[in-house]
Protein backbone atom coordinates (compact mmCIF):
# COMPACT_ATOMS: atom_id res chain seq x y z
CA UNK A 1 0.00 0.00 0.00
CA UNK A 2 2.84 2.34 0.77
CA UNK A 3 4.34 1.56 -2.55
CA UNK A 4 1.09 2.31 -4.29
CA UNK A 5 0.66 5.58 -2.42
CA UNK A 6 4.24 6.53 -3.19
CA UNK A 7 3.71 5.70 -6.85
CA UNK A 8 0.61 7.88 -7.00
CA UNK A 9 2.47 10.71 -5.32
CA UNK A 10 5.36 10.36 -7.77
CA UNK A 11 3.05 10.56 -10.77
CA UNK A 12 1.33 13.67 -9.34
CA UNK A 13 4.69 15.35 -8.76
CA UNK A 14 5.82 14.68 -12.32
CA UNK A 15 2.60 16.20 -13.69
CA UNK A 16 3.10 19.30 -11.57
CA UNK A 17 6.65 19.67 -12.85
CA UNK A 18 5.56 19.34 -16.48
CA UNK A 19 2.80 21.92 -16.03
CA UNK A 20 5.28 24.32 -14.39
CA UNK A 21 7.75 23.93 -17.26
CA UNK A 22 5.00 24.53 -19.83
CA UNK A 23 3.93 27.67 -17.95
CA UNK A 24 7.49 29.03 -17.99
CA UNK A 25 7.82 28.30 -21.71
CA UNK A 26 4.57 30.11 -22.47
CA UNK A 27 5.67 33.04 -20.34
CA UNK A 28 8.98 33.36 -22.16
CA UNK A 29 7.28 33.01 -25.55
CA UNK A 30 4.78 35.72 -24.59
CA UNK A 31 7.57 38.07 -23.49
CA UNK A 32 9.49 37.41 -26.70
CA UNK A 33 6.38 37.98 -28.80
CA UNK A 34 5.71 41.29 -27.08
CA UNK A 35 9.30 42.40 -27.66
CA UNK A 36 9.34 41.36 -31.28
CA UNK A 37 5.85 42.75 -31.79
CA UNK A 38 5.60 41.13 -35.18
CA UNK A 39 1.86 41.60 -35.63
CA UNK A 40 1.54 44.89 -33.75
CA UNK A 41 -2.00 44.09 -32.56
CA UNK A 42 -3.41 43.51 -29.10
CA UNK A 43 -7.10 42.49 -29.06
CA UNK A 44 -7.45 44.13 -32.46
CA UNK A 45 -6.10 47.50 -31.24
CA UNK A 46 -2.74 48.77 -32.45
CA UNK A 47 -0.29 49.10 -29.56
CA UNK A 48 1.69 52.12 -30.77
CA UNK A 49 4.01 52.43 -27.76
CA UNK A 50 5.28 48.84 -28.02
CA UNK A 51 6.92 49.47 -31.41
CA UNK A 52 7.71 53.17 -31.10
CA UNK A 53 11.38 52.78 -32.00
CA UNK A 54 11.01 50.13 -34.66
CA UNK A 55 11.09 50.84 -38.38
CA UNK A 56 7.45 50.29 -39.19
CA UNK A 57 5.64 52.38 -41.78
CA UNK A 58 3.13 53.84 -39.33
CA UNK A 59 5.88 55.33 -37.16
CA UNK A 60 7.24 57.63 -39.86
CA UNK A 61 5.05 60.49 -38.65
CA UNK A 62 4.56 59.87 -34.89
CA UNK A 63 8.31 59.46 -34.45
CA UNK A 64 9.02 62.72 -36.29
CA UNK A 65 6.51 64.51 -34.05
CA UNK A 66 8.10 63.06 -30.93
CA UNK A 67 11.48 64.24 -32.16
CA UNK A 68 10.13 67.80 -32.19
CA UNK A 69 9.40 68.12 -35.90
CA UNK A 70 6.95 71.01 -36.12
CA UNK A 71 5.72 69.96 -39.55
CA UNK A 72 3.83 66.94 -38.18
CA UNK A 73 0.20 67.70 -37.31
CA UNK A 74 -1.93 65.37 -35.20
CA UNK A 75 -5.51 65.35 -36.48
CA UNK A 76 -8.13 64.95 -33.75
CA UNK A 77 -11.38 65.43 -35.68
CA UNK A 78 -13.80 62.79 -36.95
CA UNK A 79 -12.48 60.16 -39.34
CA UNK A 80 -13.97 57.21 -41.23
CA UNK A 81 -11.20 54.77 -42.13
CA UNK A 82 -13.26 51.61 -41.59
CA UNK A 83 -16.66 50.88 -43.09
CA UNK A 84 -19.48 52.10 -40.86
CA UNK A 85 -17.10 53.36 -38.16
CA UNK A 86 -16.81 57.12 -37.77
CA UNK A 87 -14.71 57.90 -34.69
CA UNK A 88 -12.68 60.70 -33.14
CA UNK A 89 -9.18 60.20 -34.52
CA UNK A 90 -6.36 59.19 -32.17
CA UNK A 91 -3.77 57.84 -34.64
CA UNK A 92 -4.09 60.22 -37.62
CA UNK A 93 -1.07 62.41 -38.43
CA UNK A 94 -0.35 64.64 -41.42
CA UNK A 95 3.17 65.43 -42.63
CA UNK A 96 3.40 69.02 -43.87
CA UNK A 97 7.14 68.92 -44.56
CA UNK A 98 8.48 69.19 -48.09
CA UNK A 99 11.61 67.17 -47.18
CA UNK A 100 10.13 64.31 -45.15
CA UNK A 101 7.52 62.65 -47.30
CA UNK A 102 9.04 60.52 -50.08
CA UNK A 103 8.62 56.74 -50.26
CA UNK A 104 9.62 54.00 -52.69
CA UNK A 105 7.23 51.06 -52.56
CA UNK A 106 6.60 48.44 -55.22
CA UNK A 107 9.30 50.05 -57.40
CA UNK A 108 7.36 53.33 -57.57
CA UNK A 109 7.76 56.68 -55.89
CA UNK A 110 5.00 57.83 -53.52
CA UNK A 111 4.34 60.81 -51.28
CA UNK A 112 3.06 60.49 -47.72
CA UNK A 113 -0.44 61.86 -47.14
CA UNK A 114 -1.24 60.76 -43.58
CA UNK A 115 -1.47 57.86 -41.18
CA UNK A 116 -4.79 56.09 -40.75
CA UNK A 117 -6.83 55.33 -37.66
CA UNK A 118 -6.05 51.67 -38.25
CA UNK A 119 -2.29 52.31 -38.12
CA UNK A 120 -1.54 52.36 -41.83
CA UNK A 121 0.28 54.88 -43.98
CA UNK A 122 -1.72 56.50 -46.80
CA UNK A 123 0.41 57.50 -49.80
CA UNK A 124 -0.15 58.96 -53.29
CA UNK A 125 1.59 57.87 -56.50
CA UNK A 126 4.54 60.05 -57.57
CA UNK A 127 6.08 58.39 -60.61
CA UNK A 128 9.01 56.09 -61.29
CA UNK A 129 12.28 56.45 -59.36
CA UNK A 130 15.47 57.40 -61.17
CA UNK A 131 18.64 55.97 -59.57
CA UNK A 132 16.55 55.20 -56.45
CA UNK A 133 15.60 58.88 -56.14
CA UNK A 134 12.23 60.65 -56.38
CA UNK A 135 13.36 64.10 -57.45
CA UNK A 136 10.87 66.66 -58.74
CA UNK A 137 13.19 67.36 -61.68
CA UNK A 138 12.28 64.04 -63.34
CA UNK A 139 11.16 64.27 -66.96
CA UNK A 140 7.90 63.10 -68.49
CA UNK A 141 7.11 59.43 -68.95
CA UNK A 142 4.54 57.35 -70.85
CA UNK A 143 1.05 57.33 -69.38
CA UNK A 144 -2.52 56.37 -70.29
CA UNK A 145 -3.90 59.55 -71.84
CA UNK A 146 -7.48 60.22 -72.91
CA UNK A 147 -7.49 61.69 -76.42
CA UNK A 148 -11.25 62.06 -76.96
CA UNK A 149 -14.24 63.11 -74.95
CA UNK A 150 -17.54 61.30 -74.83
CA UNK A 151 -18.24 60.19 -78.41
CA UNK A 152 -21.08 58.16 -79.90
CA UNK A 153 -20.25 55.20 -82.08
CA UNK A 154 -22.04 52.27 -83.67
CA UNK A 155 -20.75 49.15 -81.89
CA UNK A 156 -23.31 46.64 -83.10
CA UNK A 157 -20.56 44.30 -84.35
CA UNK A 158 -19.18 41.47 -82.26
CA UNK A 159 -16.08 42.70 -80.36
CA UNK A 160 -13.83 41.63 -77.49
CA UNK A 161 -14.35 43.42 -74.14
CA UNK A 162 -12.58 43.33 -70.76
CA UNK A 163 -12.53 44.98 -67.36
CA UNK A 164 -8.78 45.71 -67.43
CA UNK A 165 -5.92 45.83 -69.90
CA UNK A 166 -2.15 45.49 -70.14
CA UNK A 167 0.01 47.91 -72.13
CA UNK A 168 3.46 48.18 -73.63
CA UNK A 169 5.08 51.63 -73.48
CA UNK A 170 7.61 50.71 -76.17
CA UNK A 171 5.14 49.58 -78.83
CA UNK A 172 2.36 51.91 -77.57
CA UNK A 173 -0.02 48.93 -77.63
CA UNK A 174 -2.86 47.90 -75.32
CA UNK A 175 -3.89 44.28 -74.77
CA UNK A 176 -7.19 43.30 -73.18
CA UNK A 177 -6.90 41.02 -70.11
CA UNK A 178 -9.37 38.12 -69.69
CA UNK A 179 -11.44 39.38 -72.59
CA UNK A 180 -14.80 38.03 -73.68
CA UNK A 181 -16.77 38.33 -76.91
CA UNK A 182 -20.07 40.20 -77.06
CA UNK A 183 -22.39 42.16 -79.34
CA UNK A 184 -23.90 45.39 -78.03
CA UNK A 185 -27.70 45.30 -77.73
CA UNK A 186 -30.54 46.14 -75.35
CA UNK A 187 -30.01 42.80 -73.60
CA UNK A 188 -26.19 42.98 -73.30
CA UNK A 189 -25.22 46.66 -72.84
CA UNK A 190 -25.72 46.60 -69.07
CA UNK A 191 -22.73 44.29 -68.66
CA UNK A 192 -20.57 46.32 -71.05
CA UNK A 193 -20.77 49.82 -69.50
CA UNK A 194 -17.39 50.58 -67.89
CA UNK A 195 -15.60 47.90 -69.91
CA UNK A 196 -12.75 48.39 -72.40
CA UNK A 197 -12.60 47.35 -76.04
CA UNK A 198 -10.28 47.70 -79.02
CA UNK A 199 -13.34 47.67 -81.31
CA UNK A 200 -11.95 44.51 -82.88
CA UNK A 201 -11.68 40.77 -82.31
CA UNK A 202 -7.92 40.63 -81.63
CA UNK A 203 -7.92 42.45 -78.28
CA UNK A 204 -4.79 44.41 -79.24
CA UNK A 205 -4.72 48.06 -80.34
CA UNK A 206 -2.92 51.38 -80.10
CA UNK A 207 -6.17 53.17 -79.18
CA UNK A 208 -8.39 51.62 -76.51
CA UNK A 209 -12.00 52.60 -75.82
CA UNK A 210 -13.89 52.81 -72.53
CA UNK A 211 -17.68 52.30 -72.66
CA UNK A 212 -19.23 55.28 -70.87
CA UNK A 213 -22.93 54.68 -71.35
CA UNK A 214 -25.92 53.60 -73.41
CA UNK A 215 -27.23 55.64 -76.34
CA UNK A 216 -29.23 53.22 -78.52
CA UNK A 217 -29.44 49.46 -79.00
CA UNK A 218 -26.63 49.74 -81.58
CA UNK A 219 -24.55 52.68 -80.30
CA UNK A 220 -22.68 53.61 -77.12
CA UNK A 221 -20.94 56.62 -75.64
CA UNK A 222 -17.18 56.00 -75.68
CA UNK A 223 -13.95 57.71 -74.69
CA UNK A 224 -10.61 56.71 -76.17
CA UNK A 225 -7.11 56.43 -74.67
CA UNK A 226 -3.58 56.20 -76.07
CA UNK A 227 -0.11 55.86 -74.54
CA UNK A 228 1.52 59.26 -74.57
CA UNK A 229 3.97 61.48 -72.68
CA UNK A 230 2.65 62.81 -69.39
CA UNK A 231 3.98 64.41 -66.21
CA UNK A 232 6.21 62.08 -64.16
CA UNK A 233 3.81 62.21 -61.17
CA UNK A 234 0.80 60.87 -63.08
CA UNK A 235 -0.17 57.41 -64.34
CA UNK A 236 -1.98 59.29 -67.09
CA UNK A 237 -4.65 61.89 -67.82
CA UNK A 238 -8.37 61.60 -68.31
CA UNK A 239 -11.85 62.62 -67.28
CA UNK A 240 -13.14 61.75 -63.84
CA UNK A 241 -16.30 60.69 -65.63
CA UNK A 242 -16.73 61.10 -69.38
CA UNK A 243 -20.53 61.28 -69.05
CA UNK A 244 -21.61 64.52 -67.40
CA UNK A 245 -25.36 64.71 -67.87
CA UNK A 246 -26.52 64.63 -64.24
CA UNK A 247 -25.46 64.56 -60.56
CA UNK A 248 -24.69 60.83 -60.82
CA UNK A 249 -21.48 61.74 -62.70
CA UNK A 250 -19.73 62.73 -59.44
CA UNK A 251 -19.69 59.07 -58.39
CA UNK A 252 -16.46 57.04 -58.38
CA UNK A 253 -19.01 54.44 -59.40
CA UNK A 254 -22.52 55.25 -60.61
CA UNK A 255 -25.75 53.70 -61.81
CA UNK A 256 -28.97 55.57 -62.70
CA UNK A 257 -28.55 58.81 -64.66
CA UNK A 258 -31.31 61.37 -65.14
CA UNK A 259 -30.34 63.84 -67.84
CA UNK A 260 -30.58 67.59 -67.37
CA UNK A 261 -31.13 69.80 -70.39
CA UNK A 262 -31.86 73.40 -71.30
CA UNK A 263 -35.10 74.28 -73.03
CA UNK A 264 -35.40 77.07 -75.56
CA UNK A 265 -38.32 79.15 -74.26
CA UNK A 266 -37.66 82.38 -76.11
CA UNK A 267 -40.64 81.80 -78.41
CA UNK A 268 -42.80 79.83 -75.99
CA UNK A 269 -46.46 80.94 -76.15
CA UNK A 270 -49.80 79.71 -74.90
CA UNK A 271 -51.49 79.05 -71.62
CA UNK A 272 -48.92 76.79 -69.97
CA UNK A 273 -49.32 75.93 -66.31
CA UNK A 274 -46.45 75.88 -63.82
CA UNK A 275 -46.60 74.88 -60.18
CA UNK A 276 -44.64 74.67 -56.96
CA UNK A 277 -46.54 71.52 -55.92
CA UNK A 278 -48.21 68.53 -57.48
CA UNK A 279 -50.28 65.49 -56.62
CA UNK A 280 -50.13 62.01 -58.09
CA UNK A 281 -52.97 59.58 -58.80
CA UNK A 282 -51.54 56.06 -58.90
CA UNK A 283 -54.76 54.61 -60.35
CA UNK A 284 -54.34 56.66 -63.52
CA UNK A 285 -50.59 57.20 -63.30
CA UNK A 286 -51.23 60.95 -63.58
CA UNK A 287 -49.57 64.00 -62.04
CA UNK A 288 -51.76 67.06 -61.43
CA UNK A 289 -50.31 70.52 -60.78
CA UNK A 290 -51.61 72.63 -57.90
CA UNK A 291 -50.95 76.26 -56.96
CA UNK A 292 -50.39 76.98 -60.63
CA UNK A 293 -49.00 80.05 -62.35
CA UNK A 294 -50.23 80.62 -65.90
CA UNK A 295 -47.57 81.82 -68.36
CA UNK A 296 -49.47 83.39 -71.24
CA UNK A 297 -48.07 84.27 -74.67
CA UNK A 298 -44.97 86.35 -73.92
CA UNK A 299 -42.36 84.22 -72.15
CA UNK A 300 -39.78 87.02 -72.17
CA UNK A 301 -41.99 89.05 -69.82
CA UNK A 302 -42.98 86.12 -67.64
CA UNK A 303 -39.91 83.96 -66.95
CA UNK A 304 -39.06 86.09 -63.91
CA UNK A 305 -42.10 84.63 -62.15
CA UNK A 306 -40.14 81.38 -61.83
CA UNK A 307 -38.01 82.58 -58.95
CA UNK A 308 -38.87 79.35 -57.22
CA UNK A 309 -38.41 75.79 -58.41
CA UNK A 310 -41.40 74.84 -60.55
CA UNK A 311 -43.07 71.83 -62.14
CA UNK A 312 -44.84 71.78 -65.49
CA UNK A 313 -46.66 69.41 -67.83
CA UNK A 314 -46.07 71.79 -70.75
CA UNK A 315 -49.82 72.10 -71.31
CA UNK A 316 -52.78 74.17 -70.12
CA UNK A 317 -54.50 71.41 -68.13
CA UNK A 318 -51.66 70.76 -65.70
CA UNK A 319 -52.19 66.99 -65.97
CA UNK A 320 -49.63 64.57 -67.39
CA UNK A 321 -47.89 61.23 -66.91
CA UNK A 322 -44.40 62.70 -67.38
CA UNK A 323 -43.63 65.88 -65.47
CA UNK A 324 -40.66 68.27 -65.81
CA UNK A 325 -38.75 69.65 -62.84
CA UNK A 326 -37.37 73.12 -63.60
CA UNK A 327 -34.94 75.69 -62.27
CA UNK A 328 -34.25 79.23 -63.38
CA UNK A 329 -30.87 80.52 -64.46
CA UNK A 330 -30.41 83.90 -66.19
CA UNK A 331 -32.96 84.01 -68.98
CA UNK A 332 -33.17 80.25 -69.57
CA UNK A 333 -35.06 77.33 -68.14
CA UNK A 334 -32.95 74.38 -67.10
CA UNK A 335 -34.90 71.14 -67.01
CA UNK A 336 -33.29 69.34 -64.08
CA UNK A 337 -34.96 66.14 -65.23
CA UNK A 338 -38.26 64.62 -66.32
CA UNK A 339 -39.85 62.00 -64.10
CA UNK A 340 -42.86 59.72 -63.93
CA UNK A 341 -44.44 56.82 -62.05
CA UNK A 342 -45.17 58.78 -58.88
CA UNK A 343 -41.54 59.64 -58.16
CA UNK A 344 -40.47 62.91 -56.55
CA UNK A 345 -37.26 64.97 -56.95
CA UNK A 346 -35.85 63.45 -53.75
CA UNK A 347 -36.55 59.96 -55.10
CA UNK A 348 -34.54 60.88 -58.19
CA UNK A 349 -31.60 62.13 -56.11
CA UNK A 350 -31.66 58.95 -54.05
CA UNK A 351 -31.48 56.83 -57.20
CA UNK A 352 -28.50 58.81 -58.51
CA UNK A 353 -26.52 59.33 -55.31
CA UNK A 354 -27.42 57.23 -52.28
CA UNK A 355 -29.47 54.08 -52.67
CA UNK A 356 -28.03 50.60 -52.19
CA UNK A 357 -27.62 50.00 -55.93
CA UNK A 358 -25.92 53.31 -56.74
CA UNK A 359 -22.39 51.88 -57.27
CA UNK A 360 -22.81 49.70 -60.32
CA UNK A 361 -20.59 51.03 -63.13
CA UNK A 362 -17.00 52.26 -62.95
CA UNK A 363 -16.31 55.93 -63.55
CA UNK A 364 -13.72 56.69 -66.22
CA UNK A 365 -11.11 57.42 -63.54
CA UNK A 366 -11.72 54.17 -61.65
CA UNK A 367 -11.47 52.13 -64.86
CA UNK A 368 -8.03 53.55 -65.65
CA UNK A 369 -6.70 53.37 -62.08
CA UNK A 370 -7.83 49.74 -61.75
CA UNK A 371 -6.09 48.78 -64.99
CA UNK A 372 -2.87 50.49 -63.90
CA UNK A 373 -3.01 48.70 -60.54
CA UNK A 374 -3.69 45.29 -62.13
CA UNK A 375 -0.59 45.67 -64.32
CA UNK A 376 1.83 47.30 -61.89
CA UNK A 377 0.92 46.71 -58.23
CA UNK A 378 -1.33 43.67 -57.93
CA UNK A 379 1.53 41.55 -56.56
CA UNK A 380 1.78 43.93 -53.56
CA UNK A 381 -1.86 43.69 -52.50
CA UNK A 382 -1.05 41.68 -49.34
CA UNK A 383 0.98 44.65 -48.04
CA UNK A 384 -1.95 47.09 -48.30
CA UNK A 385 -4.81 48.11 -46.03
CA UNK A 386 -8.41 47.78 -47.11
CA UNK A 387 -9.02 51.37 -46.03
CA UNK A 388 -12.06 53.58 -46.75
CA UNK A 389 -11.65 55.92 -49.73
CA UNK A 390 -14.49 58.41 -49.34
CA UNK A 391 -16.35 59.63 -52.47
CA UNK A 392 -18.48 61.96 -50.33
CA UNK A 393 -21.82 62.56 -52.05
CA UNK A 394 -23.56 64.03 -48.98
CA UNK A 395 -25.41 67.22 -49.99
CA UNK A 396 -25.07 70.35 -47.84
CA UNK A 397 -27.17 72.63 -50.06
CA UNK A 398 -29.88 71.40 -52.42
CA UNK A 399 -30.19 74.76 -54.18
CA UNK A 400 -32.76 74.67 -56.95
CA UNK A 401 -33.20 70.90 -56.42
CA UNK A 402 -34.92 71.58 -53.09
CA UNK A 403 -38.65 70.94 -53.73
CA UNK A 404 -39.52 73.65 -51.20
CA UNK A 405 -36.56 75.98 -51.68
CA UNK A 406 -35.98 79.27 -53.44
CA UNK A 407 -33.90 79.36 -56.61
CA UNK A 408 -31.18 81.98 -56.87
CA UNK A 409 -29.37 82.31 -60.20
CA UNK A 410 -25.82 81.04 -59.92
CA UNK A 411 -23.35 78.40 -61.01
CA UNK A 412 -24.27 75.68 -58.53
CA UNK A 413 -27.68 74.16 -57.99
CA UNK A 414 -26.37 71.45 -55.62
CA UNK A 415 -23.46 71.70 -53.19
CA UNK A 416 -21.75 68.59 -51.87
CA UNK A 417 -19.76 68.45 -48.65
CA UNK A 418 -16.43 69.36 -50.29
CA UNK A 419 -17.91 72.50 -51.88
CA UNK A 420 -17.06 74.44 -48.70
CA UNK A 421 -13.47 73.11 -48.42
CA UNK A 422 -13.88 71.32 -45.10
CA UNK A 423 -11.08 69.49 -43.23
CA UNK A 424 -13.49 66.90 -41.81
CA UNK A 425 -12.40 63.31 -42.63
CA UNK A 426 -15.72 61.68 -41.73
CA UNK A 427 -17.73 59.90 -44.41
CA UNK A 428 -21.44 59.92 -43.68
CA UNK A 429 -22.93 57.44 -46.13
CA UNK A 430 -21.88 53.78 -46.36
CA UNK A 431 -22.41 53.90 -50.13
CA UNK A 432 -19.61 56.52 -50.30
CA UNK A 433 -17.15 54.39 -48.25
CA UNK A 434 -15.23 52.59 -50.99
CA UNK A 435 -13.30 49.50 -49.88
CA UNK A 436 -12.85 45.93 -51.08
CA UNK A 437 -14.88 44.67 -48.10
CA UNK A 438 -17.90 46.99 -48.54
CA UNK A 439 -20.45 45.34 -50.83
CA UNK A 440 -22.35 48.64 -51.15
CA UNK A 441 -19.24 50.47 -52.41
CA UNK A 442 -16.95 47.67 -53.48
CA UNK A 443 -13.51 48.31 -54.89
CA UNK A 444 -11.87 45.82 -57.23
CA UNK A 445 -8.43 46.59 -55.78
CA UNK A 446 -7.34 48.51 -52.62
CA UNK A 447 -6.64 51.71 -54.55
CA UNK A 448 -8.52 54.95 -55.27
CA UNK A 449 -7.74 58.70 -55.21
CA UNK A 450 -6.95 61.43 -52.70
CA UNK A 451 -9.78 63.13 -50.78
CA UNK A 452 -10.06 66.91 -50.98
CA UNK A 453 -10.23 67.02 -47.16
CA UNK A 454 -6.77 65.46 -47.02
CA UNK A 455 -5.45 68.21 -49.29
CA UNK A 456 -7.00 70.79 -46.97
CA UNK A 457 -5.39 69.25 -43.88
CA UNK A 458 -1.96 69.20 -45.51
CA UNK A 459 -2.44 72.94 -46.16
CA UNK A 460 0.85 73.18 -48.03
CA UNK A 461 0.67 73.70 -51.78
CA UNK A 462 4.30 72.66 -52.18
CA UNK A 463 3.33 69.14 -51.08
CA UNK A 464 0.53 68.71 -53.61
CA UNK A 465 1.90 70.52 -56.66
CA UNK A 466 3.10 68.25 -59.45
CA UNK A 467 3.38 70.51 -62.46
CA UNK A 468 -0.01 69.37 -63.74
CA UNK A 469 -3.69 69.43 -62.75
CA UNK A 470 -4.88 66.22 -61.06
CA UNK A 471 -8.20 64.86 -59.82
CA UNK A 472 -9.33 64.22 -56.26
CA UNK A 473 -12.10 61.80 -55.25
CA UNK A 474 -14.36 64.54 -53.86
CA UNK A 475 -17.54 65.93 -55.49
CA UNK A 476 -17.99 69.71 -55.30
CA UNK A 477 -21.36 70.49 -56.86
CA UNK A 478 -23.83 70.20 -59.67
CA UNK A 479 -24.55 73.34 -61.69
CA UNK A 480 -25.55 74.71 -65.03
CA UNK A 481 -22.47 73.16 -66.69
CA UNK A 482 -22.90 69.75 -65.11
CA UNK A 483 -21.18 67.87 -62.29
CA UNK A 484 -18.12 69.39 -60.61
CA UNK A 485 -15.37 67.57 -58.71
CA UNK A 486 -12.44 68.89 -56.74
CA UNK A 487 -9.04 68.82 -58.41
CA UNK A 488 -5.54 70.10 -57.54
CA UNK A 489 -4.00 72.94 -59.53
CA UNK A 490 -0.45 72.93 -60.91
CA UNK A 491 0.56 75.08 -57.92
CA UNK A 492 -0.97 72.55 -55.48
CA UNK A 493 -4.07 74.55 -54.54
CA UNK A 494 -7.52 72.85 -54.61
CA UNK A 495 -10.19 73.98 -57.03
CA UNK A 496 -13.16 72.44 -58.91
CA UNK A 497 -14.12 71.75 -62.49
CA UNK A 498 -16.59 69.70 -64.51
CA UNK A 499 -15.96 65.95 -64.36
CA UNK A 500 -15.55 65.41 -68.10
CA UNK A 501 -12.43 67.58 -68.28
CA UNK A 502 -9.07 65.88 -68.70
CA UNK A 503 -6.86 66.15 -65.61
CA UNK A 504 -4.11 63.96 -64.15
CA UNK A 505 -4.70 60.64 -62.35
CA UNK A 506 -2.66 59.71 -59.25
CA UNK A 507 -3.57 56.47 -57.42
CA UNK A 508 -3.72 56.39 -53.60
CA UNK A 509 -3.04 53.30 -51.45
CA UNK A 510 -2.53 52.65 -47.73
CA UNK A 511 0.33 50.52 -46.41
CA UNK A 512 -0.31 48.06 -43.57
CA UNK A 513 1.40 48.97 -40.26
CA UNK A 514 3.58 45.87 -40.50
CA UNK A 515 5.49 47.18 -43.55
CA UNK A 516 9.08 47.95 -42.54
CA UNK A 517 11.34 50.82 -43.58
CA UNK A 518 14.56 49.38 -44.95
CA UNK A 519 16.46 52.63 -45.46
CA UNK A 520 16.23 56.32 -46.32
CA UNK A 521 15.28 59.59 -44.62
CA UNK A 522 12.21 60.57 -46.67
CA UNK A 523 13.91 63.20 -48.83
CA UNK A 524 13.68 63.28 -52.62
CA UNK A 525 17.29 62.12 -52.97
CA UNK A 526 17.08 59.49 -50.20
CA UNK A 527 13.45 58.32 -49.99
CA UNK A 528 12.22 55.82 -47.44
CA UNK A 529 12.50 52.35 -48.99
CA UNK A 530 9.59 50.25 -47.74
CA UNK A 531 9.56 46.51 -48.36
| pLDDT tens, position by position, 54-101 | 577 777 777 777 777 788 889 999 999 999 999 999 999 998 877 778
Q: Which residues contact 185 (CB under 8 A, 6 or more apart)?
A: 156, 217, 218
| pLDDT tens, position by position, 253-291 | 999 888 888 787 777 777 888 888 899 999 999 999 987
Mean pLDDT of 24-33: 44
Residue 507: inside a domain, yes or no? no
Range of the domain at 315: 273-350
Q: CA-CA distances (angstroms) from residue 56 to 26, 91, 115, 178, 524? A: 26, 14, 12, 37, 20
At 323, the pLDDT band (50, 70, 90 cuts) reads: very high
pTM score of the predicted model:
0.86
> Burial letters for 272-311: b for 16+ Cβ neighbours within 10 Å, e otherwise?
bbbbbebebeeeeebbbbeebbebeeebeebbeebebbbb
Residue 3: inside a domain, yes or no? no
Give pLDDT, residue 134. Answer: 94
Residue 299: inside a domain, yes or no? yes
**In the predicted structure, residue 169 carries a pLDDT above the cut 60:** yes
Number of compact structural domains in the chain: 1
By three-state DSSP, how is residue 336 classified?
strand
Residue 341: inside a domain, yes or no? yes
Give pLDDT, residue 200. Answer: 96
Residue 110: inside a domain, yes or no? no
Give pLDDT, residue 24. Answer: 46
Q: Which residues contact 386 (CB under 8 A, 6 or more apart)?
A: 435, 436, 437, 446
Distance between CA atoms of residues 513 and 97, nearest Å: 21
| pLDDT tens, position by position, 453-463 | 999 998 877 77
On whether the CB atoms of residues 105 and 495 are closer than 8 A, the answer is no
Q: What percent of the chain has pLDDT over 70?
A: 85
Residue 331: inside a domain, yes or no? yes
Residue 302: inside a domain, yes or no? yes
Distance between CA atoms of residues 183 and 21, nearest Å: 71
User: What does DSSP say about strands 271-281 and 286-296: parallel, antiparallel, or unpaired?
Assistant: antiparallel
Residue 429: inside a domain, yes or no? no
Amino acid sequence: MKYIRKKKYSIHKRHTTIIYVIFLLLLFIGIGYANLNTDLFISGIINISSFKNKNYAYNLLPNLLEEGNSCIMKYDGQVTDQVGQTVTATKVYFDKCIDKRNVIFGNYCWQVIRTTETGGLKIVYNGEPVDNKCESSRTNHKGIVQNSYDIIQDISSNYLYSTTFDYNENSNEFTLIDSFSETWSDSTYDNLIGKFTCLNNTGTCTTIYNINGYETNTSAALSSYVLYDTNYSLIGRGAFNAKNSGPAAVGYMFNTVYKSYNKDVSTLTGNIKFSSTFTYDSSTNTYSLSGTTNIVNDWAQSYGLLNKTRYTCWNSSGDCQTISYLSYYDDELTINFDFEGGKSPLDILDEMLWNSNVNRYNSSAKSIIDSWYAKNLNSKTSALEDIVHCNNRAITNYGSWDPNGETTPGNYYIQFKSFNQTNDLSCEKVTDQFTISNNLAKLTYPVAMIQNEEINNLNNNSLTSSGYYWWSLSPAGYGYSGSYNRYINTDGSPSSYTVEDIFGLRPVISLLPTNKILSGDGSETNPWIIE
